[in-house]
């Protein structure tokens, strides 16, 4: 299977990540992210990486494989296990003029640096006027049977904290372009990579080193006319699968991929809702006060007169993500759940 | 002994037995012959179980498993020094300590089978807190438990296991300082197994972990972690200190993770096979068995009987484990709160109807 060869390819030693594309020039999401890091490090020597096991090991998911050989231990810093300090070091180094990119082994462990991220990093510019070009990146999300300690979606925490931008890309091209934008941005950015997508989704990704995707813009990834599905991350792919099934049942679903959570591109969402008049907000953070709660509220406030049905939400309950596969499936909205929700909306 | 680089530092390492099993210090640790034999039995049972878990993972019966081979003496020697009312706060690699404490192996392994969030053994009844994945957080819980025991006027103590990697987290420093300031009856027990995933000890700290202790105001002892008697003695002293109201202790056991970090890891990517072989030669079970047989506390038949017992036992563990079915999907809403509040009840009703 191609997925297998790709995983093996990504695990090859030493080569620059672009060399790990398929023969057709396709890059997985993981390789696209590695390319973004590599290119920005080539472009700007003030960019450096720090994190746990990112050097010799190449990171828990092998995103930084080969980076140590190319950029050396001063720009690919293996740190002791200390998330609070990894974040704090990034703050200090950014003040001194560097552009640190810190890897969290899992986005779950961003909570071990929570105070430093939300209180210090997020508020630094507000308190001092000093810009902090810091990127904190890490694998987030579920669907891979990795237990409640390795599957979390922390995006609402950080989207709720003033001063932080939050990015949750769903496609390799967006991941690459957005990560490059994040590294060039003068504000702190939380860049959440979805581990379910890493090796599953691949596409031809631009090779131009100045290819960027702007932060804060959603994208319509599938045109449709009956119902809008607003989502981000892994669930965009599940929504695409649901949309195919719905097509067969005569329902045309439009899918809006938010791409960036903070700042939220309300315009693109509203334009889609105006077109379809029915909207499902589908998100992976907990339903109560999760990302979709804000999206639904904005639609209700701004597009009430365009709606033919109440805004509907589909999201996991407010329980820890379970380890058991059966329970994880019950926790995450599944493709049939998406299909059923859209059918309900369409029939409203 | 071929030791990790952190031992070229002049800091003393407590040892009772040389790697070949000959006594090099006081081997009188306060255990009778049965107690001495029990340490060997636990180590043999633990290793056999650990290897079975590796096999179970390879066969798809466990999702992921962090093996402890090589660390049997560090875990068995320390856990055996505790009393029934003491409380252990493990990280995620302490299955050997768990079985010594009387935790049911099948219940424990439900975490690694992915049928439960933490293993459904009762932490309070077994004196063994749930597996702790967020590195070093358990240290602080142990200090809190110890403070509670002290306030209760109990003479119980807490023991927290943590790795060399965990010693870099702020939680370690905060736990150690608070424990000393409050004279909490707690033992901070570090298994320095040479590696935090791919990062060797020398890249994590510039001075021995045990040497930090005086800075916090507590005794720090470094022991040969492959010497079960030395580990037992050091832990025993720390326990007695805690019970006497003299506060916390820090123990650093020098040992080695023979296997991968977890079944998802390939250690050949970052470490030398020669290093692993050096440590294999320092095997804690072989060393202790030679000692017991030399002093006549156990004969070859004893070890053989333990191995036979281990074989039969892991067979039962395996059978019970693979028979465990998946929990019903409705369980996704359970256990989050002692009493589910309205938000969750509503979500449950929407998802499951009245079920
Ligand atoms: C707060 C936190 N950060 C990172 C991780 C990922 N992680 C799991 S185990 C580990 C290494 C732990 O090393 P050590 O403390 O030496 O224990 P050992 O694995 O050697 O038993 C890391 C980095 C984690 N679980 N928790
Ligand atoms: Mg270790």
Task: Please give the pLDDT value at position B27.
Answer: 96
pTM for the structure as a whole: 0.95
- State percent of chain A over pLDDT 90: 93
Task: Please give the pLDDT value at position B9.
Answer: 82
- pLDDT category at A341 given cuts 50, 70, 90 is very high
Distance CA B49, CA B310 (A): 7
- pLDDT category at A335 given cuts 50, 70, 90 is very high
Decide if pLDDT at A9 tops 50: no
Render pLDDT for A192-212 as a digit per residue (tens, 0 to 9). Answer: 999 999 999 999 999 999 999
- For residue A173, count CB atoms less than 10 angstroms from its CB and return exposed for 0-12, middle for 13-18, buried for 19 or more: middle
- Using an 8 Å Cβ cutoff, are B251 and B218 in contact? no
Q: Which domains does chain A have, with CATH numbers?
A: 2-204 (3.40.50.970), 219-346 (3.40.50.920)
Task: Please give the pLDDT value at position B119.
Answer: 64
Q: Which A residues, 211 through 270, put their C-beta within 8 Å of a C-beta on chain B? A: none
Q: Does A26 touch chain B (CB under 8 A)?
A: no
**In the predicted model, what is the mean pLDDT of residues B135-161?**
98
3-state secondary structure of B186: strand
- pLDDT category at A5 given cuts 50, 70, 90 is very low
Distance CA B143, CA B178 (A): 8
Q: Does A289 touch chain B (CB under 8 A)?
A: no
Q: What length does chain A have?
A: 348
Active-site residue, A125 included: no
Exposure string of A270-309, with b = 16+ CB inside 10 Å and e = fewer, is bebbeebbbbbbbbbbbbeebbbbbbbebbeeebeeebeb
**In the predicted model, what is the mean pLDDT of residues A106-134?**
98
Q: Which residues form ligand 1's pocket by a CB distance below 6 Å?
A: A 52, 81, 83, 105, 109, 112; B 93, 133-135, 163-166, 193, 195-197, 257, 261
- pLDDT category at B106 given cuts 50, 70, 90 is very high
CB contact under 8 A, B196 and A80: yes
Decide if pLDDT at A4 tops 80: no
Task: Please give the pLDDT value at position B120.
Answer: 79
CB contact under 8 A, B329 and A56: no
**In the predicted model, what is the mean pLDDT of residues B26-44?**
97
- Using an 8 Å Cβ cutoff, are A35 and A15 in contact? no
Task: Please give the pLDDT value at position B4.
Answer: 43
- pLDDT category at B354 given cuts 50, 70, 90 is low
Task: Please give the pLDDT value at position B116.
Answer: 78
Distance CA A256, CA A268 (A): 8
Render pLDDT for A139-178 as a digit per residue (tens, 0 to 9). Answer: 999 999 999 999 999 999 999 999 999 999 999 999 999 9
Nearest CA in chain B to A78: B199
Task: Please give the pLDDT value at position B155.
Answer: 96
Task: Please give the pLDDT value at position B115.
Answer: 87
Of the candidates A320, A270, A263, which has an alpha carbon nearest to the alpha carbon of residue A296? A270
Render pLDDT for B209-253 as a digit per residue (tens, 0 to 9). Answer: 999 999 999 999 999 999 999 999 999 999 999 999 999 999 999
CATH code that applies to domain B5-324: 3.40.50.970
Query: How close B324 comes to chain A (CA, Å)?
Result: 12
Task: Please give the pLDDT value at position A78.
Answer: 97
Token reading at A12: 């090859």
Active-site hit among B212, B233, B257, B287: B257
Active-site hit among A13, A150, A194, A306: A150
Q: Does A85 touch chain B (CB under 8 A)?
A: yes
Decide if pLDDT at B1 tops 60: no
Residue nearest to atom 23 of ligand 1 (CA): A81
Task: Please give the pLDDT value at position A15.
Answer: 63
ipTM comes to 0.94
> Could you tell me the residue ranges of all domains in chain B?
5-324, 329-355
**Residue of A317, A328, A341 best to disrupt the B interface, most CBs of B under 10 A:** A317
- pLDDT category at B355 given cuts 50, 70, 90 is low
Task: Please give the pLDDT value at position A7.
Answer: 31
Q: Does A7 touch chain B (CB under 8 A)?
A: no
Task: Please give the pLDDT value at position B10.
Answer: 87
Q: Does B345 touch chain A (CB under 8 A)?
A: no
**β-strand pairing of B195-196 with B199-200:** antiparallel
**In the predicted model, what is the mean pLDDT of residues B254-281?**
97
Exposure string of B104-120, with b = 16+ CB inside 10 Å and e = fewer, is bbbbbbbbbbbbbbbbe
CB contact under 8 A, A324 and B326: yes
Task: Please give the pLDDT value at position A56.
Answer: 96
Render pLDDT for A260-317 as a digit per residue (tens, 0 to 9). Answer: 999 999 999 999 999 999 999 999 999 999 999 999 999 999 999 999 999 999 999 9
3-state secondary structure of A15: coil
Phi, psi of B69 (to 5 degrees): -50, 135
- pLDDT category at A16 given cuts 50, 70, 90 is confident
**In the predicted model, what is the mean pLDDT of residues B151-166?**
98
B164 membership: H or E segment, kind and range: none
Task: Please give the pLDDT value at position A1.
Answer: 29
Token reading at B83: 């009393």
Phi, psi of B178 (to 5 degrees): -65, -40
| Cross-strand partners of A204 | A26
Among B63, B134, B198, beta carbon nearest to A53:
B198
**In the predicted model, what is the mean pLDDT of residues B174-201?**
98
- Using an 8 Å Cβ cutoff, are A288 and A273 in contact? no
Decide if pLDDT at B163 tops 70: yes
Nearest CA in chain B to A320: B336
- pLDDT category at A18 given cuts 50, 70, 90 is confident
**In the predicted model, what is the mean pLDDT of residues A106-119?**
98
Exposure string of A235-244, with b = 16+ CB inside 10 Å and e = fewer, is bbbbbbebbe
**In the predicted model, what is the mean pLDDT of residues B164-174?**
98
Token reading at A193: 């990579």
Sign (positive or negative) of CA dihedral A175, A180, A183, A189: negative
């Amino acid at each position: 299977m191609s997925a297998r060869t790709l995983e093996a390819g990504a695990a090859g030693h030493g080569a620059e990540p672009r060399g790990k594309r398929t023969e057709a020039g396709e890059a997985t999401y993981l390789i696209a992210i590695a390319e973004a890091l590599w290119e920005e490090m080539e472009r700007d020597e003030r960019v450096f990486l720090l994190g746990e096991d990112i050097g010799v090991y190449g990171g828990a998911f092998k995103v930084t494989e080969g980076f140590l050989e190319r950029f050396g231990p001063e720009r690919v810093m293996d740190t002791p296990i200390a998330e609070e300090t990894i974040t704090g070091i990034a703050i200090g180094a950014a003040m001194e003029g560097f552009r640190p990119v810190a890897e969290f082994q899992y986005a779950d462990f961003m909570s071990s640096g929570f105070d430093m991220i939300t209180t210090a990093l997020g508020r630094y510019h507000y308190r001092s006027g000093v810009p902090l070009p810091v990127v904190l990146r890490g694998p987030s999300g579920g669907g891979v049977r990795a237990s409640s300690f390795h599957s979390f979606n922390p995006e609402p925490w950080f989207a709720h904290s003033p001063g932080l931008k939050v990015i949750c890309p769903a496609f390799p091209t967006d991941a690459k372009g957005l990560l490059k934008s994040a590294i060039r941005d003068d504000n702190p950015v939380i860049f959440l990579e979805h581990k379910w997508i890493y090796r599953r989704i691949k596409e031809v990704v631009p090779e131009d080193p100045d290819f960027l995707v702007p932060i804060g813009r959603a994208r319509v990834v599938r045109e449709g006319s009956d119902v809008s599905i607003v989502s981000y991350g892994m669930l965009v792919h599940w929504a695409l699968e649901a949309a195919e099934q719905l097509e067969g049942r005569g329902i045309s679903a439009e899918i809006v991929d938010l791409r960036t959570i903070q700042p939220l591109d309300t315009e693109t969402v509203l334009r889609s809702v105006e077109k379809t008049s029915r909207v499902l907000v589908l998100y992976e953070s907990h339903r109560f006060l999760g990302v979709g709660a804000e999206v639904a509220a904005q639609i209700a406030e701004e597009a009430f007169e365009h709606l033919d049905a109440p805004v509907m939400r589909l999201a996991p309950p407010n329980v820890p993500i379970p380890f058991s596969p059966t329970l994880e499936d019950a926790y995450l909205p599944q493709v049939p759940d998406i299909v059923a929700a859209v059918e309900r909306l369409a029939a409203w | 002994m071929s030791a990790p680089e952190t031992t070229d530092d002049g800091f003393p390492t407590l040892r009772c037995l040389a790697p070949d099993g000959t006594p090099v210090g006081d081997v009188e640790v306060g255990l009778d012959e049965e107690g001495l034999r029990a340490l060997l039995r636990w180590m043999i049972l633990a290793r056999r179980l650990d290897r079975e878990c590796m096999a179970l993972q390879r066969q798809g019966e466990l999702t992921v498993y962090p093996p402890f081979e090589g660390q049997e003496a560090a875990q068995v020697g320390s856990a055996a020094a505790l009393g029934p009312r003491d409380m252990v706060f493990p990280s995620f690699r302490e299955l050997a300590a768990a079985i010594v404490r009387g935790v049911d192996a099948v219940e424990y392994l439900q975490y690694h089978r992915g049928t439960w969030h933490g293993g459904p053994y009762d932490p309070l009844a077994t004196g063994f807190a749930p597996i702790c994945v967020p590195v070093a957080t358990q240290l602080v819980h142990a200090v809190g438990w110890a403070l509670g025991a002290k306030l209760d006027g109990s003479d119980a103590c807490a023991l927290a296991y943590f790795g060399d990697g965990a010693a870099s987290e702020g939680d370690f420093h905060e736990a150690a300082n608070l424990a000393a300031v409050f004279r909490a009856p707690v033992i901070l027990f570090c298994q320095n197994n040479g590696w935090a995933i791919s990062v060797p000890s020398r890249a994590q700290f510039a001075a021995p972990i045990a040497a930090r202790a005086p800075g916090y105001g507590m005794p720090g002892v470094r022991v040969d972690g492959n010497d079960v008697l030395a580990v037992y003695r050091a832990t025993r002293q720390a326990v007695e200190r805690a019970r006497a109201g003299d506060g916390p202790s820090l123990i650093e056991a020098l040992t080695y993770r023979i296997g991968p970090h977890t079944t998802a890891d390939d250690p050949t990517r970052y470490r030398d096979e020669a290093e692993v072989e050096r440590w294999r030669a320092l095997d804690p079970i072989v060393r202790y068995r030679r000692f017991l047989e030399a002093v006549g506390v156990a004969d070859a038949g004893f070890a053989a009987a333990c191995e036979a017992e281990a074989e039969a036992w892991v067979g039962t563990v395996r059978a019970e484990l693979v028979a465990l079915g998946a929990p019903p999907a409705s369980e996704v809403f359970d256990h989050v709160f002692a009493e589910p509040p309205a938000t969750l009840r509503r979500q449950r009703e929407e998802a499951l109807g009245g079920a």
